[in-house]
Amino acid sequence: MSQLLISLSPDLKRLRDEGYEIEVKAGYLLAHHIPYLNSSKEIKYGTLVSELTLSNNTLTARPNTHVIYFIGEFPCNKDGSIITAIQHQSQIQRLHENITINHSFSNKPPTGYANYYLKVSRYAEIISAPAKSIDNTVTEKTFKLIPDEDAHSVFKYFDTNSSRANINIVNSKFNGQKIAIIGLGGTGAYILDLVAKTPVSEIHIYDGDDFLQHNAFRAPGAASNEVLNLKKRKVRYFEDIYSNMHKGIISHDYYLTETNLEELKQMSYVFICVDKNSVRKSIMDYLIHHGVTFFDVGLGVNIVDDFLIGTLRLTIGTAQKNDHLSKRISSTDADADNEYSTNIQIADLNALNATLAVIKWKKISGFYQDLEKEHHSTYSLNVAQLINEDLTT
């Protein structure tokens, strides 16, 4: 992936063609083997690290900032004094599990840098000049090709959003996770939309229904008439969309029953988005027995005096905390013959329910701080009140 980006972006290709030892990793541009002098007037080699702004997966855009990072000691002049012209900040910082920088430099042209060739070559020129004045054989242009490590990424293109925000190291907490989403009727589809933007290893989606016209009005995105006429299986429809971004989407076009619940044993976390309490209970009982943490979502919306009122619910079960489930979730199904029973779902409520569940999953995964450690939350629509209960210390 990164070699394709380097080949098709004129600025990166020029760096490589001139011999710069460049690499694209975790959404950053790295230029290795930059010679410099340290404070002891010794010739050393460091690495420049830049944010990487892309127009698409094969073309860079204008650099987002003139600031650049550096791995190594602070570069110095021939007399051992630091190069103050680029001095910005010196602080060890982990940008990614394999990228730890020591300094950041600032050297801004009047109009900034138009491309990454100008940015990298200018910093390399400033940093290496003292070393080259002592030994004219040292060079940053090694013509060494760096192997493409991004082939192992779960994404089809670079996650430059995380690198721009410098949250790659926090984002790595999702690495290796296997996620299951049971039910894609409304809330489950939005959960998929959010989880697909994280570097989890696999996302298993379960649903035995077809994707029909009413589903389009409570799902992310906008299905075309042509797609609706195909009457795709629901999981196939969403797999086709999100496989454009994430390599680990695995669809299961059937319902989970007691005969196939064992498929959930391998999961790191499970999102339960079903509307039948009897099915929900059998899934929860299995997950509790096997120590798999799950997030169960539900919403109840009714019409009162020409207004919609209702409550969104999120209930979490873990191996350590599950004694609250029986009082929070019914185990019996609603009467299907009751003409007053409704299943009102609105896209914004599905999206909010999904967002609450995904935020809680990210808290348990260590991405967000979790001070309350609640295992049951409800959001009341008409009073805009969020209540957390079943807390643990």
Within 43-97, strands assigned E span 43-51, 54-56, 59-60, 68-71, 87-96
**How many helices (DSSP H) and strands (DSSP E) are in the chain?**
12, 16
Domain boundaries along the sequence of the chain: 2-168, 176-391
Helix axis angle, 116-134 relative to 10-17, nearest 10°? 20
d(CA 379, CA 298) in angstroms, rounded, equals 11
Given a contact cutoff of 8 angstroms between Cβ atoms, the answer to whether 192 and 205 are in contact is yes
Residue 240 token pair? 């086709």
d(CA 349, CA 386) in angstroms, rounded, equals 14
Kindly report the backbone phi and psi dihedral angles of residue 38, in degrees, each rounded to the nearest multiple of 5, phi listed first: -90, -175
pLDDT values of the chain reduced to their tens digit, one per residue, 393 residues: 577 788 889 999 999 999 999 999 888 999 999 999 999 999 999 999 999 999 987 899 999 999 999 999 999 999 999 999 999 999 999 998 889 999 999 999 999 999 999 999 999 999 999 999 999 999 999 998 777 666 678 988 778 788 777 788 898 899 999 999 999 988 999 999 999 999 999 999 999 999 999 999 999 999 999 999 999 999 999 999 999 999 999 999 999 999 999 999 999 999 999 988 999 999 999 999 999 999 999 998 989 999 999 999 999 999 999 999 999 998 887 654 444 345 788 999 999 999 999 999 999 999 999 999 999 999 999 999 999 999 987
d(CA 71, CA 29) in angstroms, rounded, equals 13
Q: What is the pTM of this model?
A: 0.77
SS3 178: strand
Burial annotation 150-174 (CB, 10 A radius, 16+ → b, else e): beebbbebbbbebbbebebbbbbeb
SS3 254: coil
d(CA 211, CA 312) in angstroms, rounded, equals 24
Check: CATH 3.50.50.60 for 176-391?
A: no
Type of residue numbered 32: H
Kindly report the backbone phi and psi dihedral angles of residue 169, in degrees, each rounded to the nearest multiple of 5, phi listed first: -65, -35
Q: What is the CA radius of gyration of the chain?
A: 26
